Amino acid sequence: MVLGAKKVSGAAKLFRVLLAVAFAAGACLTARAGYLRAKAALAGVLIRDAWSESAGTGRPTPPWPWADTYPIARLRIPRIGYDEIVLEGATPRTLAFGPARLRSGVAPGEPGNLVLAGHRTSWFRPLQELRAGDAIEVQWFDVRTGKLRRRLYTVTSLRVTSPQEAELAAAEGADRLTLLTCYPFGRGPTSPLRLVVRAAPSPPVVQSAGVAQADEALPHQRRLHSGSE
């Protein structure tokens, strides 16, 4: 009887130890998840502040002193409520903080193919709601004129393809905007394909006084505005 009681007592102690370890591990994971969310939120604020400063001064402004990237544009898709700041250089580190420009394409405002990439699980996940005919707006700071400019695009095609089609990210060809993300969407274990969104520049439209035309300078008072319009 005593031996049986000792075995039960030992098993109970082991269970309590395992339970404590599991609780501690869960607490650590929860704390880490909270830290990552807070870090991402802070990074988003700093990136928008850097974009506002760049738009006001005309100089590239890193979002934090040790950053190896900086905001170069603002990407808006009104129909789906999309509004994000685009970073320079689509490296794995940069893509963790936002959509970014592939250097194989042209820079905003230059003739050719402007290529932007984003993660399917975060920055470009809203693209699953996109459809042909949607309007896309790209804002950028023109260092030659010292003005914040914008260009309007219209989505012409959406297709799923293999990542081996290297010409998708080439700079040559007609003026256009290309958005790239892995496919399928969501947090599945694999994403062997790519969603390619093509958009062509919209023709300039004469609008009422005080409203900027497509591909024209934006009024100065709108430069530092970083929220939805």
| pLDDT tens, position by position, 114-149 | 999 999 999 999 999 999 999 999 999 887 777 889
DSSP output for 26-45? HHHHHHHHHHHHHHHHHHHH
* Host domain of residue 186: 42-222
Burial 95-109 (b: 16+ CB within 10 A, else e): bebbbbbbeebbebb
**pLDDT tens digits, one per residue of 182-207:** 998 877 777 789 999 999 999 864 44
Read off the DSSP letter of residue 203.
P
Gap between the Cα atoms of 22 and 213, Å rounded: 60
Look at residue 64 and give its three-state secondary structure. coil
Query: Is the predicted pLDDT of residue 12 greater than 70, yes or no?
Result: no
Q: What percent of the chain has pLDDT over 90?
A: 45
Number of domains in the chain: 1
Q: How many residues does the chain have?
A: 229
Q: What is the CATH number of the domain that holds 70?
A: 2.40.260.10
Q: Tell me if 188 is assigned to some domain.
A: yes
Q: Which one-letter amino acid corresponds to residue 178? A: T
**Which two structure tokens, joined as six digits, stand for 188?**
């599945």
**Which two structure tokens, joined as six digits, stand for 62?**
């890193």
Q: Tell me if 1 is assigned to some domain.
A: no
Burial 20-49 (b: 16+ CB within 10 A, else e): eeeeeeeeeeeeeeeeeeeeeeebeebbbb
Query: Is the predicted pLDDT of residue 94 greater than 60, yes or no?
Result: yes
Q: Tell me if 109 is assigned to some domain.
A: yes
Q: Tell me if 2 is assigned to some domain.
A: no
Query: Is the predicted pLDDT of residue 180 greater than 90, yes or no?
Result: yes
Q: Tell me if 24 is assigned to some domain.
A: no
More confident: 196 or 32: 196
Q: Tell me if 37 is assigned to some domain.
A: no
Q: Band the pLDDT of 82: cuts 50, 70, 90.
A: very high
pTM comes to 0.72
Q: What percent of the chain has pLDDT over 70?
A: 68
Q: Tell me if 70 is assigned to some domain.
A: yes
What is residue 46's predicted lDDT score, i.e. its pLDDT? 92
Q: Tell me if 16 is assigned to some domain.
A: no
